[in-house]
Amino acid sequence: MNFLLTTCYQQLSDPVMLVPSRGLVLDNVRTDDEFAHVTMLLTRAASMDGVHFSMLPGIAVHGPWPAGLAAVRTRTLNSILDDHIPAEAALTLMEEVARAAAPQQIICRFDDGGAYDALQEIRASMSANEVVLLNDDNPLLTRSREAFEIGQLLALLACDEDSEGTLGDSFILDHTPDWSVQLGEKLAAALVARCLVSVGDRGQTGFKFADFGYYSARLTAVGKQFDGCLGSREAADPLLYAGQLMAIAAEARDSRTRLVNLVALLELLLTRNPDASRFNVDDSLSKQFILKLGVLLYSERPSLDLDWTRRALKDLYAVRSVIAHGDFGRLDGLLAKSSFAEPESFQHGSSPTVIALDTACEFAYRCARCAVGASLQHPPLVQFLKRN
């Protein structure tokens, strides 16, 4: 077994099973190895500029501080070093706080097929100057990536229907099982979000799933649904590939890349190749996209304004096509006339194009949530729509 780091923390009496067939389990750190790696990551995160020690889990809000540390609970590492405390002493202080926090950190275990233990045996026989390069098909990499991708889909389905804060976010921080330096930066950002949740209304959504208690029941429910679809390769392959597209979209810094991958996810689940033997407008991909997604969106919410939905789906596919074919000169004009354009009074100084593109991505996430959810709950309907 191996694990990925999550944004969540809570004292768990028992592990929370997510997807049994893939060994996905949410749990506190239990082994010495897990404890050592999580402590190291929390120590790194606490050293990031702007992160207060009080942001570490289980310390300021949900538990007593370790003896002697109360004086630094609202301090950052830099402010402590400014008091001319030696760097070595500051590091010891950070490690002590991290060790106190680590037992409440939630990790996501996954079955790596024994690949990590085999890697450790190889490393034990190597000299200090030798390194191990893993092939792309190594189970340690493929299964950790799959766990991350499944986590993206579970997070999408577990978020609130009307929530803006969590669309596209995940409770799993990264797909890296080897605890890289970049994870320290991501964990630092999660600690800030976690602190905001802990001092605010714990019923509020958002903040990258920092409040595990709020989302745990939903995550386990959709995890069971997902697991039920993995027995058949015909059903599993599209969903797992959809998870890959979700992961690419989540990691994309450019909203154009995010939108293209989200629309590709929707096409994957719902559309088929048009009949190339003859020209048929009704068989075109854009027509399929609008009609089939419209059916699913309406079946999920009958109060939906179908005229607006048709325009929005048409605009979404048109924006996707302009980006996918590199016709960027048309993008601003298309977005300005689209269903995603905001009135000037709501633009708050941001570029109208940026606002409209972000709104289009949010709508695409809502469509993806509907399509993936229908694939789990009503597979015959989704298969019927895809074939016809």
What is the pLDDT at residue 193? 66
Among the ranges given (112-116, 286-290, 298-302, 333-337), the one the predictor scored with the smallest mean pLDDT: 112-116
pLDDT surpasses 90 at 108:
yes
Q: Which residue has the higher pLDDT, 3 or 130?
A: 3
What is the pLDDT at residue 28? 94
Average pLDDT rounded to a whole number, residues 5-27: 90
Report the candidate in 370, 368, 318, 373 with the shortest Cα–Cα distance to residue 340.
318
Average pLDDT rounded to a whole number, residues 4-28: 90
Report the candidate in 155, 247, 145, 190 with the shortest Cα–Cα distance to residue 46.
190
- Provide the pLDDT confidence category of residue 101 given band limits of 50, 70 and 90: confident
What is the pLDDT of the chain when averaged over all its residues? 81
Q: Which residue has the higher pLDDT, 194 or 106?
A: 106
Element housing 16 (H / E): strand 16-19
What is the pLDDT at residue 195? 62
pLDDT surpasses 70 at 221:
yes
What is the pLDDT at residue 345? 40
What is the pLDDT at residue 14? 92
Cβ pair 167, 255 in contact under 8 A: no
What is the pLDDT at residue 205? 44
What is the pLDDT at residue 274? 81
Q: What is the pTM assigned to this prediction? A: 0.84
What is the pLDDT at residue 282? 53
Report the candidate in 175, 9, 183 with the shortest Cα–Cα distance to residue 105.
9
* 45 CB-near residues (< 8 Å, 6+ apart): 51, 56, 184, 185, 187, 188, 191
pLDDT surpasses 80 at 152:
yes
What is the pLDDT at residue 93? 73
Among the ranges given (20-34, 274-288, 297-311, 327-341), the one the predictor scored with the smallest mean pLDDT: 274-288
Average pLDDT rounded to a whole number, residues 245-270: 94
What is the sign of the dihedral through the CA atoms of 86, 91, 92 and 97? positive
pLDDT surpasses 70 at 207:
no
Residues written for the chain: 388
- Provide the pLDDT confidence category of residue 7 given band limits of 50, 70 and 90: confident
What is the pLDDT at residue 56? 64
What is the pLDDT at residue 327? 92
What is the pLDDT at residue 82? 62
Cα–Cα distance measured from residue 158 to residue 143, given in angstroms and rounded to the nearest whole number: 22
What percent of the chain has a predicted confidence (pLDDT) above 90?
A: 37
pLDDT surpasses 80 at 192:
no
pLDDT surpasses 60 at 319:
yes
Average pLDDT rounded to a whole number, residues 83-95: 69
* 180 CB-near residues (< 8 Å, 6+ apart): 174
The full DSSP string for 220-283 is HHHHHHHHHTSSSHHHHHHHHHHHHHHHHHHH-SSHHHHHHHHHHHHHHHH-----TTS--GGG
pLDDT surpasses 50 at 157:
yes
Average pLDDT rounded to a whole number, residues 156-184: 72
pLDDT surpasses 80 at 236:
yes
pLDDT surpasses 90 at 289:
yes
What is the pLDDT at residue 44? 79
What is the pLDDT at residue 203? 45
Q: Are strands 2-9 and 16-19 parallel, antiparallel or unpaired?
A: unpaired
Average pLDDT rounded to a whole number, residues 3-32: 90
- Provide the pLDDT confidence category of residue 346 given band limits of 50, 70 and 90: very low
Average pLDDT rounded to a whole number, residues 326-330: 91
- Provide the pLDDT confidence category of residue 222 given band limits of 50, 70 and 90: very high
